[in-house]
Amino acid sequence: MSYLTFILLIAVATFRLDKDDDDEVENPHQWKVRAHQIWSYDFRSSQQVMTKIQLLLLFWILGQFFGECKQVYHYGLRDYFRSYYNIMDWASVSLYLGAFALRIFVDFRVQATEKTFNHQLHYALTLLQNASTIISDGTDIFDTEMGTDSQHNYVAYRNHLLSNHTAYWLRGCRLWWAPDDPEYISDCLFALANVLSFARVSYLMPAWELLGPLQISLARMINDIIRFMALFFLVSLNRWPVD
């Protein structure tokens, strides 16, 4: 039951709502109605980096990590790693911890950048909400001439703000991220860990009367194929002429 709950949490954490494309985001008829979606699309916030489900999953994985450490202490390092499933568990937990460590790093960087650009973000949000009041501290924070179209003003100011390299961590659209962005790497590690976690189901499948015999037959067949290929390679290697 615990493992099924863990799989359910993984499925929920992996679920993502489809992002709106540029044509839909720039649709003038839905600009006010979809202000929240537009803001989430353009700017990255700490709530998007670490959701509540991911925090719950992080504590769950930490519990698994301490459980694996307890097994290593009880059985010994050599006996523990004799089981392929223990190796799989340790690899998946390590990948999950690496993925969440990168997400926590991104979360701290996003929060720090939000504090630095708090005034500019408030101003951009005001433009997005079609507010007429311009928030300013007496300095010229946007030296581009503002037009009468509120949508154009928001897009122009958004591009002006996010073009600054110091505001990199505020960029919400993944197309604006660097190829080695930590959140990209975190998603890759999380995906690999999910594959190992779902593959762990094979440990329970032999108890199923339908798929159990098929899995055992498949494992033995793969074992025979590997042995045959090894012998075939050795025979072929011996038949090669020696200079």
User: 43-47 long-range CB contacts below 8 Å, 24 or more apart?
Assistant: 43/121, 43/124, 43/170, 43/171, 43/172, 44/110, 44/169, 44/170, 44/171, 44/172, 45/110, 45/114, 45/172, 46/107, 46/110, 46/111, 46/114
Cα distances (angstroms) measured from residue 196 to each of 14, 40, 201: 14, 31, 9
With H, G, I as helix, E, B as strand and everything else as coil, classify residue 171. Answer: strand
pLDDT given at position 207: 64
Q: Do 123 and 219 fall within a single domain?
A: no
Cα gap 72→68, rounded to integer Å? 6
What are phi and psi for residue 110, nearest 5 degrees?
Answer: -65, -45
| Number of structural domains in the chain | 2
Average pLDDT, the chain: 77
- Is 117 among the domain residues? yes
Per-residue confidence band for 138, with pLDDT thresholds at 50, 70 and 90: very low
- Cα angle value 86/89/92 (rounded, 5°): 150
Give tens-digit pLDDT for 173-213: 888 899 899 999 999 999 999 888 887 777 666 666 676 77
22 part of a folded domain: no
Residues 159 and 45 in one domain: yes
Q: Does residue 23 form part of some domain?
A: no
Note whether 136 and 222 are same-domain residues: no
**pLDDT at position 204:** 67
In a domain, 45, yes or no: yes
Shared-domain flag, residues 120 and 171: yes
Are both 69 and 110 inside the same structural domain? yes
Q: 237 and 131 in one domain?
A: no
Query: What range defines the domain where residue 69 resides?
Result: 1-15+30-205
The count of C-alpha atoms lying within 13 angstroms of the C-alpha of 164, restricted to the half-sphere facing its C-beta, is: 14
What's the CA gap between 31 and 26, in Å, rounded? Answer: 7
Helix (H, G, I), strand (E, B) or coil at 242: coil
